[in-house]
Structure 1
Amino acid sequence: MDLSGFQTMQGRDVGADGLAGDRSARQFAAHFHPPSRIDARLVEAWSDLAGQASEPNIFYEHWFLVPALAQLRHHDDLQLFLLWAGEPHRSPLLGLMPVGPEQQFGRWPVPHVQNWMHHNCFLGTPLVRKGFEPMFWEKLLAALDERGWPGFLHINGMTINGPLDQALRMVCDGQKRRCDLVHSEARALLEAHCTADEYYRTNIRKKKRKELLRIKRRLGELGELQFSCLQDRTNLDSWIDEFLALERKGWKGKSGSALDCADATREFFRATVRGAAQSGQLERRDMCLDGQPVAMLVNFRSGRGGFEFKTAFDEDYASYSPGVQLQIENLDCLDKDAVDWVDSCAAEGHPMIDHLWSGRRHIGRFSIEPQRLADRAVFRGVRLGERGMGKLRKRKIFDPAEV
């Protein structure tokens, strides 16, 4: 399916507060935009949208997504679904999500449409301006139905029970569509309910704290131990080089999964970190011994939230827990008024971060039923197969919305 053939859809809808003009008479416009046509005008509107997003997601901000589209493999028909408050490029951008057709759904050769995620993208929640969540889904579903989408819509990596999830379920319920949460996982989340010191003492046992302090002192006996946190572009390129080298030195380099193991991921990382710095959303931390990095961490900020993107440590010093030591220093973000939470972006059950951070963020995959009867039959057949496999594997899906 060539999504680029979609025609711009316009309709009269009532918008949310916050945009000037007669909302009842506003012409909203939804269309699919090819990545090759991203220009400065769109980037400006995109940046404004990210600053007003109902749910922050740095992975769909322009400085992250544009380098990913340029460097990483994706379907030729991948498009940006855009929702505008009026005439495109001359009105506020209300919503954005990269979507495209897929021919394989897990193990099954089932065509469907899905939001785009890659191996270095850890959240798939669309960027939608506050108050326009239901309209975003209404316009997306209408656009796909009008064209005749293949199979069904699958949303991967969306925050469960957030404003976008709630709006999607409400819209689907009103349209008598099934909207099934087909997979869920809980990953570590840091929430700012107390000071860094209080959080550390509450969540880490006294015996463990004493052990970490002991090995930190032992590490300090080997040379001068320094921690730094930078939010500007000071020596940024050399810092990036050091991070890439440190990550490649470890197990990721040996397995071929380090960013520096391929030109595409290396250049993607460089462009992303530089873009975050230029947007004022980068925070980089490191722990150095006699000036040489032992552990390094890349954080991104968006609104009052944060995302831990990448971490690397020198495995020669593994007995000193350098990654944990740097994470303890990272807790000082709790003492900053600008941050309410930080997403670890780590896999569920991560052996290190899960023991340090007590909060959990639930992320899920959603499958949405299409309008055409033939495609509905495909959707329901897939869902029947998924439920059968889930029972065989005794897999449980936790849905906070039902609690």
Structure 2
Amino acid sequence: MSLIEPILVPPSAVRDTRMSGGEHPSPFPLLGSERLRVQFLRSDRLTPPDRRRWANLTACAAPGNVLAADWCLSPLLEDYPARLAVVCDRAGGWIGMLPIAYERLPGTGWLGGWHTWPLGAAHAHTGLIGTPLVRAGAEHAFWEALLAQLDARPGLAGGLFADALPLDDPATLALVSLCAQQGRALHGWGGFARSAWRPDIPAKPRAEMLMRSRMEEQEALLAVAHGPLKLAFHRHAEDCGPWLAAFHALERGGGSLGAAPFAPATLRSVIAAGQQRGAVRLASLAAGETIVAMAAWLVSDARGYGLALGIDARARGFAPHRMLMRRIAKHARHEGMVQFDACAAAGTVPDLMWPEQRRFARFAVAIGGPCRRALLARAMGALDSGASA
């Protein structure tokens, strides 16, 4: 069974989550030896203790989503406020956090639900990762507590709509496993893939040879037109300001390829915070005295995540961003990375230089009682029928 196909459960097999007397079970189920509780916190009203707990969670989180780290996500939430669904242990420490908001499901016109990572244009265009920030090994407990809370108090929501879940991530696998275990319907709606790089998956020899030949030809032409190519890494704190100034100059000239939804101040905050932690890399490619391509990416647990990419629009015909990404791939291999997710927007044309495709799913998760789950199944069936028509 494919992970992105709906797991259909007949009405007779749907577990009624209500107790006798019409009451719902406790939203704070006993998981293992700890009693977990769920909070919904407004991102613009976090207290200093909340921020400390978020920072502590970042320090012990499972690898896979540095974009949800406190220092990375906080600046973005200033542009796109949301609620944070937080699962806490008995002592109040956070074991997991997921941005969430109530929104209408596109394509239905009437069905609303809890949507994860509701960050507007930033999510649509920059390819964020939709998994929660969660303690290593606590993925199953996080989803179990959150879904129990939504079962007990769903409000007007018809389901939980989880977007951009990588199929190779333990948090995604934990959600699928839990739904199967509980007999909870899990509907897929529009999975996608985007370019990635892994050292253990080489490109096809013939395609790689043709691409290398074409790239070397383009590099030679660019060198003749503007001067020899030179790659530079900007590793020092004092490099952040000049790099950002040059990058925004490329943006104003129409050369942004990956950071348009980020306000300049937001990108500056993320890069500055990442540099302090050794979690950001800045690079530029110059032809002679002219910078023709620039890139920023995040690094965590031997994984890379694309953050910003720009070119000099006057050199667009030479595809200088591909020249830069070719060099970044070599650097990633030298640095010992196990994966590099380009974090390109959904629907971006795959790059032959980055042949690996990282696959993502969008899931609609059933919550509440049988009637609510039946409405969700009906809505998702209508969406599937409309998509196939």
Partners of 1:348 and 1:28 lie apart in 2 by: 35
Aligned to 1:216: 219
Partners of 1:213 and 1:47 lie apart in 2 by: 45
1:83–1:136 contact (8 Å) kept in structure 2? yes
1:132, CA displacement in angstroms?
1.1
Partners of 1:97 and 1:235 lie apart in 2 by: 33
TM norm structure 1: 0.80
Gaps of 5+ in 1: 1-7, 15-23, 393-403
> CA deviation digits over 1:357-393, x for unaligned, max 9?
121111111001122233223202211101211321x
Q: Does 1:80 align with 2:84?
A: yes
For residue 78 of structure 2, the aligned residue among 70, 77, 86 is 70
Aligned positions of 1:318-337 closer than 5 A: 318-337=316-335
> CA deviation digits over 1:204-225, x for unaligned, max 9?
4334322322331232233243
Partners of 1:367 and 1:209 lie apart in 2 by: 42
Aligned to 1:177: 184
| Matched letter for residue 120 of structure 1 | A
1:29–1:87 contact (8 Å) kept in structure 2? no
- Does the C-alpha gap of structure 1 residues 277 and 153 become closer, same or farther in structure 2, counting only changes over 3 Å? same
- Does the C-alpha gap of structure 1 residues 299 and 107 become closer, same or farther in structure 2, counting only changes over 3 Å? same
1:335, CA displacement in angstroms?
2.8
Aligned positions of 1:383-402 closer than 5 A: 383-392=380-389
1:356, CA displacement in angstroms?
0.7
Partners of 1:258 and 1:190 lie apart in 2 by: 20
| Matched letter for residue 110 of structure 1 | L
SS at match of 2:189: strand
Q: Does 1:166 align with 2:173?
A: yes
Partners of 1:98 and 1:318 lie apart in 2 by: 37
1:333, CA displacement in angstroms?
3.0
Q: Which range is displaced more, 173-182 or 28-37?
A: 28-37
Partners of 1:201 and 1:171 lie apart in 2 by: 37
1:349, CA displacement in angstroms?
6.1
- Does the C-alpha gap of structure 1 residues 211 and 354 become closer, same or farther in structure 2, counting only changes over 3 Å? closer
**Equivalences, count:** 357
| Bigger RCO of structures 1 and 2 (CA < 8 A, at least 6 apart) | 2
- Does the C-alpha gap of structure 1 residues 115 and 349 become closer, same or farther in structure 2, counting only changes over 3 Å? closer
1:105–1:111 contact (8 Å) kept in structure 2? no
Aligned to 2:369: 372
Aligned to 1:138: 144
SS at match of 2:227: coil
Partners of 1:238 and 1:109 lie apart in 2 by: 48
Identical positions, percent: 22
SS at match of 2:238: coil
1:94, CA displacement in angstroms?
1.3
For residue 33 of structure 1, the aligned residue among 32, 35, 41 is 41
Partners of 1:367 and 1:155 lie apart in 2 by: 6
2:39–2:85 contact (8 Å) kept in structure 1? yes
1:248, CA displacement in angstroms?
2.6
- Does the C-alpha gap of structure 1 residues 356 and 350 become closer, same or farther in structure 2, counting only changes over 3 Å? farther
> CA deviation digits over 1:8-55, x for unaligned, max 9?
9644322xxxxxxxxx3x333322222133244433433343344334
2:186–2:364 contact (8 Å) kept in structure 1? yes
1:323, CA displacement in angstroms?
0.9
Aligned to 1:192: 199
| Matched letter for residue 128 of structure 1 | V
For residue 42 of structure 1, the aligned residue among 43, 50, 58 is 50
Gaps of 5+ in 2: 1-25
SS at match of 1:97: strand
Aligned to 2:236: 232
2:219–2:323 contact (8 Å) kept in structure 1? yes
TM norm structure 2: 0.83
Partners of 1:297 and 1:203 lie apart in 2 by: 28
